[in-house]
């Protein structure tokens, strides 16, 4: 009766690559997918498959043959799966058919050099998500601002009646004194006077404080900033697109060049809604 074949079967993994190694008593032959290990491709990574042999010495592999089948993953992942399968195969063979002391010595050498020779790497490629080009990167989000400059009682090319469309939105207002207020624009008047609620005040030194309600005089306002998608900005954009000439603004209305077409209709509807200037 023929004696029992001394053999073990183990596997090595890296990402999506899996290498199954069959190790039995032999003459030191190692093959990968039927090809000698000396011909493994890519050539630049071939030395990685030699690492278990170089670390433990050729004499420990002289009495075994290892046949490896690898599939899945890319070239680099397959190389790392092969080296892990070889290392685990020699450890398993020595544990089963030689002695525990030799197995422990081999295992300690491999772990001291690189733990992934015996332990699989659990890391995986993170899936892409919507809203960005990759797993973590997000598309750039731009909070574009519309700025209306005010000098004294005169605006710059924008009817002050359109300021009422900003009521109920978040705006930033910079005063001539250097103070800045950011909060809810609760109420506006045709002379640019504003009432803000739940605002954050920043003084010229950068110190911030919270105010429940504040009344701002239009003659002291330097800039009014609002988000580009705010209703006030859309109305202003339509005004600038359809106006006949840039009007000169007074305190509470349009002077100089009169608005035409759709811009005139916007102002007329705003006047009707607010009860005139």
Are 155 and 172 in contact, with CB atoms under 8 Å apart?
A: no
Are 71 and 39 in contact, with CB atoms under 8 Å apart?
A: no
Are 203 and 186 in contact, with CB atoms under 8 Å apart?
A: no
pLDDT values of the chain reduced to their tens digit, one per residue, 277 residues: 456 889 999 999 999 999 999 999 999 999 999 999 999 999 999 999 999 999 999 999 999 999 999 999 999 999 999 999 999 999 999 999 999 999 999 999 999 999 999 999 999 999 999 999 999 999 987 655 444 444 444 444 455 556 677 788 888 888 888 888 988 888 888 777 889 999 999 988 888 899 999 998 888 887 777 665 555 555 555 555 555 443 333 333 334 444 455 555 655 665 565 554 4
pTM score of the predicted model: 0.53
Q: Are domains 7-117 and 145-274 of this chain identical in fold?
A: no
H helix runs in 114-252, sequence order? 231-242
CATH architecture of 145-274: Roll (2.30)
Task: Give residues with Cβ within 8 angstroms of 157, minimum separation 6.
Answer: 240, 246, 247, 249
What are the residue ranges spanned by the domains of the chain? 7-117, 145-274
Predicted confidence at residue 56, as pLDDT, reads 95
Strands 248-250 and 253-255: antiparallel
Are 236 and 156 in contact, with CB atoms under 8 Å apart?
A: no
Task: Give residues with Cβ within 8 angstroms of 112, minimum separation 6.
Answer: none
Matching CATH number, 7-117, of 3.20.20.140, 3.40.50.620, 3.30.450.20, 3.30.230.10? 3.30.230.10
Q: How far is CA 33 from the centre of its chain?
A: 41
Q: Could you give the CA distance from residue 73 to residue 84 in angstroms, rounded to a whole number?
A: 15
Predicted confidence at residue 233, as pLDDT, reads 53
Instruction: Look at residues 211, 222, 146 and name the one whose alpha carbon lies nearest to residue 184.
Output: 211
Are 59 and 90 in contact, with CB atoms under 8 Å apart?
A: no
Predicted confidence at residue 258, as pLDDT, reads 46
Identify whether 219 is preceded by a cis peptide bond (ω within 30 of 0).
no
Task: Give residues with Cβ within 8 angstroms of 104, minimum separation 6.
Answer: none
Are 106 and 56 in contact, with CB atoms under 8 Å apart?
A: yes
Predicted confidence at residue 247, as pLDDT, reads 38
Instruction: Look at residues 168, 190, 192, 194 and name the one whose alpha carbon lies nearest to residue 181.
Output: 194
């Amino acid at each position: 009766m023929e004696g029992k074949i001394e053999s073990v079967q183990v596997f090595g993994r890296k990402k999506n690559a899996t290498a199954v190694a069959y190790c039995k008593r032999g003459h030191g032959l190692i093959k990968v997918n039927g090809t000698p290990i000396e011909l493994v491709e890519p050539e630049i990574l071939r030395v990685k498959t030699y690492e278990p042999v170089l670390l433990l010495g050729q004499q420990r592999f002289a009495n075994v043959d290892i046949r490896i089948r690898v599939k899945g993953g890319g070239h680099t992942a397959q190389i790392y799966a092969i080296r892990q399968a070889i290392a685990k195969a020699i450890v398993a063979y020595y544990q089963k058919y030689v002695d525990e002391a030799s197995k422990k010595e081999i295992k300690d050498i491999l772990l001291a050099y690189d733990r992934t020779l015996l332990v699989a790497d659990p890391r995986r490629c993170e899936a892409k998500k919507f809203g960005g080009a990759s797993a973590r990167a997000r598309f750039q989000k731009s909070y574009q601002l519309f700025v209306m400059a005010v000098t004294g009682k005169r605006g710059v090319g924008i009817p002050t009646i359109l300021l009422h469309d900003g009521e109920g939105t978040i705006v930033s207002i910079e005063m001539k004194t250097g103070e800045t207020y950011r909060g809810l624009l609760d109420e506006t008047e045709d002379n640019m006077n504003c009432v803000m609620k739940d605002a954050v005040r920043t003084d010229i030194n950068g110190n911030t404080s919270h105010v429940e309600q504040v009344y701002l005089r239009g003659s002291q306002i330097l800039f009014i900033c609002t988000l580009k998608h705010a209703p006030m900005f859309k109305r202003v954009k339509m005004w600038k697109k359809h106006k006949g000439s840039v009007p000169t603004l007074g305190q509470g209305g349009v002077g100089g060049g009169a608005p035409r077409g759709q811009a005139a209709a916007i102002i007329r509807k705003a006047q009707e809604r607010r009860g005139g200037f």
